[in-house]
Structure 1
Amino acid sequence: MNPSITERLAFDGGQPTVTKTFPWPVFDEREVQAVAGVVRSGKWGNPDCLDEVEAFENAFARYCGSKYAITCVNGSVSLRLALIACGVRPGDEVIVPPYTFIATASTVVEANCVPVFADIDPDTYNIDPKAIEAAITDRTKAIIPVHFAGQACDMDAIMDIARRHNLRVIEDAAHAHGAAYKGRKLGSIGDVGSFSFQSSKNLTSGEGGIVVTDDDELYHLMHSLRNVGRIEGGQWYDHYNPGCNYRITQMQAVLLTEQLKRLEEQTQTRNENGLYLNELLADVDGITPLTRGHGETLHCYHLYIFRYDAAAFGGNLSKAGFVERLAAEGVPCFRGYPHPLYRQPLFQNKTFMCYALPDTVDYSQVYCEVAERACKEEGVWILQHAMLGTKADMDLFAEAIRKIQRAVRAA
């Protein structure tokens, strides 16, 4: 029997469940006037006047509970600064998860090091500490745990592993602005925390990045690398380290300063909506939200992720088909990565630019079962700006999923 007219999916010509839009970024005249003030000042670049950049860096460091913060042009560069400052050398191994954006691993290659992929936990989609331990060799120098979707990694376990093996920990917190683990802001726990301010991120200036640290030596080195190798107190045309111009502009700094004032309230809203949506979806057969209770004290839900089981939706509706129907119902969603990072051409082909990867490294032989399943069959993302909606919006998101299930079961 076919669904009734009122139950017809939007994908099939029916009315969408969600008709509201969720604009991002959120801004008002405060951001407009802040940028206009910089424009009128005529001091647009970082060397012209450091006041606005330093003011934001200091405010973000305080927010994270870190001693230092250094801005840069994007989150990829922030990872690269951290890696180089942490002392990796060509051929060193850096352990990374396979379920993350390419920059987590490609910056390792840029630093002439070898990414080693350790599988993720099926309950959180974060790197599994047991897989980290199994991946360590005498060439391992660092771990980059990614707080994926804003969910905190198991940082106690990761820091314990790092201490026992004398490894550096660089937190990739590109998704994790404002989130916390056991009361500590993410990014402030490892040796360095790296953040992105790209346009989709929970704190944004369109592009940009930042690193935070408590380590004096790492701070001074990253500060130099960010500023063409200059050192604080040195001459303008004296260059001590092989850095580049990775500075942000005054306009980005004032945008970020205003956006930071909104971040805590937005994070609380996303966290509360995530908890509520978990409750709503708990009894939906075939839908399993990623779990809480692993040490996170505040989840910023850059993504709200659930696992999809096609068997509960008639067995013939693929993840891609489900996401198409959910998007048609008006839920801002995405199917996520098509495959784990090690399947990217960069790693499968090992182009001439990957000269630091030894011949013994063969990514065609890498297989991370949980990450493969997350990419191909399970992982569905609801985007962060939608998590700034109301509880009524969360009700509609859950109803859209139930509507799809009723429709495919009735077909």
Structure 2
Amino acid sequence: MEKILVTKPYLPPIEEYKAQIDLIYASNQLTNQGPLLQELEETLRTFLQVKYFQYVTNGTIALQLALEALGIDKGEVITTPFSYVATTSSILWQRCKPVFVDIEPKNFTIDPSKIEAAITSKTRAIMPVHVFGYACDVEKIQEIAEKYHLKVIYDAAHAFGSVYKGKSLCSYGDVATLSFHATKLFHTVEGGAVIIREKSVSQKLDLVKRFGHCGDNHFCLGINGKQSEFHAAMGLAVLPHLGEIVTARKRICELYDQELAGQIERPQMQKELIYNYAYYPVLFKDEKTLLRVFKALNNEGIYPRRYFYPSLNTLPYLDERILCPISEDICSRIACLPLYPNLREESIWRVIHILQSII
């Protein structure tokens, strides 16, 4: 029986990756901002039409570097409880306090109408998430940030390829971070990036990601957030296939939409969003139904995943419990269905039929 996972990494034709690897062997430079890394940075900066782009080791480090480069190493950061744990972890790692604001019930992003009530004299920044590649209410969030002189850091790990109002969704905020993990729409096996609005912040981040020194001159505390030539090579081999990847994922999503219409609830997105088809989240009636569906699918070798569970405001190592009833409810009954470019149509139909038999 074929094992069907929630996602599967896209692998470019091996000869195309090997052609990039041959360049590494010819240059004999494996890391430290090599030529392939610089090429990937500039290619992605141009593709996304952003000013400053920094390629780093992963999406979590990207968030930590963003906070550090903006000088946010204490105080409170307003964020969403509906995300992967790295969003919260990055705030805690910087010795800041995450302050959770509940989400909108229709598209699952942070509810801007609840942000102002969470702002205190200790608030330093807002860290929303473009969850599943759907857009946050960027206009309202920016308005609040300017009113209270706060920085906006978007966790845009899912947003590569999404376009809002004619601009890359990753271009909003003071900073936006990306994940290029193997399971993402565009990947470099492991990797991440930081998109930055101001030159001075980009310069500081570049310094911090390289141990805080240039040559023998040490300027500040830093870490190793550099990425290797081999990871950049994968990115350069994958990027030319992005169009076909998105097209294949869109086709699968449209089949799910067609066959499951009216049977399951789906997130709503803004009319002005061009979606990247990064995920296919579905909302079940209750947790009991979700668990029945999982059991039936698992019995057939099909493994969806509970994105996202649990609601991050309930993490056991937090000092304070902030109630977020909408997030807690949605986390208990949401899942993502299998979605990747070479998912066979007969496998998609198996997923659909099992869902329909239970729902």
Question: Same fold judged by TM-score > 0.5?
Answer: yes
Shift of 1:98: 0.6
Q: Which residue number corresponds to residue 97 of structure 1?
A: 80
Q: Which residue number corresponds to residue 303 of structure 1?
A: 279
Counterpart of 2:316 (choices 335, 339, 345) is 345
Distance 1:100 1:333 in 2: 17
Q: Deviations over 1:89-120 (max 9, x none)?
A: 42x11111111111111111111211001111
1:265 matched to 2:244? The reply is: yes
Q: Deviations over 1:156-203 (max 9, x none)?
A: 221222122221111111111111212211211111110111221122
Distance 2:4 2:181 in 1: 24
Distance 1:252 1:55 in 2: 12
Percent of pairs with identical residues: 28
Distance 2:149 2:30 in 1: 42
Partner amino acid for 1:291?
Answer: Q
Distance 2:151 2:53 in 1: 18
1:83 matched to 2:83? The reply is: no
Q: Which residue number corresponds to residue 359 of structure 1?
A: none
1:379 matched to 2:334? The reply is: yes
When residues 339 and 317 of structure 1 are mapped into structure 2, their CA distance, relative to the original with a 3 A threshold, is: closer
Counterpart of 1:322 (choices 293, 305, 313) is 293
Q: What are structure 1's unaligned runs of at least 5 residues?
A: 1-15, 311-315, 351-361, 406-411
Q: Which residue number corresponds to residue 119 of structure 1?
A: 102
Q: Which residue number corresponds to residue 230 of structure 2?
A: 251
Q: Which residue number corresponds to residue 49 of structure 2?
A: 65
Distance 1:404 1:105 in 2: 35
Q: Which residue number corresponds to residue 163 of structure 2?
A: 180
1:399 matched to 2:343? The reply is: no
1:239 matched to 2:218? The reply is: yes
Distance 2:93 2:243 in 1: 34
Shift of 1:251: 0.9
Distance 2:47 2:303 in 1: 29
1:26 matched to 2:11? The reply is: yes
Distance 1:156 1:393 in 2: 40
Shift of 1:272: 5.1
Counterpart of 2:304 (choices 330, 333, 339) is 333
How big is the alpha-carbon RMSD for the aligned residues of Structure 1 and Structure 2? 2.4
Counterpart of 1:291 (choices 260, 268, 283) is 268
| 8 Å CA contact 2:54, 2:206 repeated in 1 | yes
Paired residues for 1:3-22 under 5 Å: none
Distance 1:388 1:158 in 2: 37
Distance 2:225 2:355 in 1: 44
Distance 1:106 1:150 in 2: 20
When residues 208 and 160 of structure 1 are mapped into structure 2, their CA distance, relative to the original with a 3 A threshold, is: same
When residues 85 and 26 of structure 1 are mapped into structure 2, their CA distance, relative to the original with a 3 A threshold, is: same
Which is greater in Rg? 1
| 8 Å CA contact 2:8, 2:183 repeated in 1 | no
1:223 matched to 2:179? The reply is: no
Shift of 1:39: 3.6
Q: Which residue number corresponds to residue 44 of structure 1?
A: 30
| 8 Å CA contact 1:53, 1:250 repeated in 2 | yes
Please give the TM-score of this superposition, normalised by the length of structure 1.
Answer: 0.80
Partner-residue secondary structure (3-state), 1:193: strand
Distance 1:301 1:196 in 2: 15
Q: Which residue number corresponds to residue 280 of structure 1?
A: 259
Q: Deviations over 1:43-68 (max 9, x none)?
A: 21225xx2111111111111111011
When residues 329 and 290 of structure 1 are mapped into structure 2, their CA distance, relative to the original with a 3 A threshold, is: farther
Shift of 1:305: 0.7
Counterpart of 1:214 (choices 197, 206, 211) is 197
1:156 matched to 2:156? The reply is: no
Distance 1:237 1:39 in 2: 28
Distance 1:200 1:79 in 2: 18
Q: Which residue number corresponds to residue 153 of structure 2?
A: 170
Distance 1:333 1:299 in 2: 21
Partner amino acid for 2:335?
Answer: V
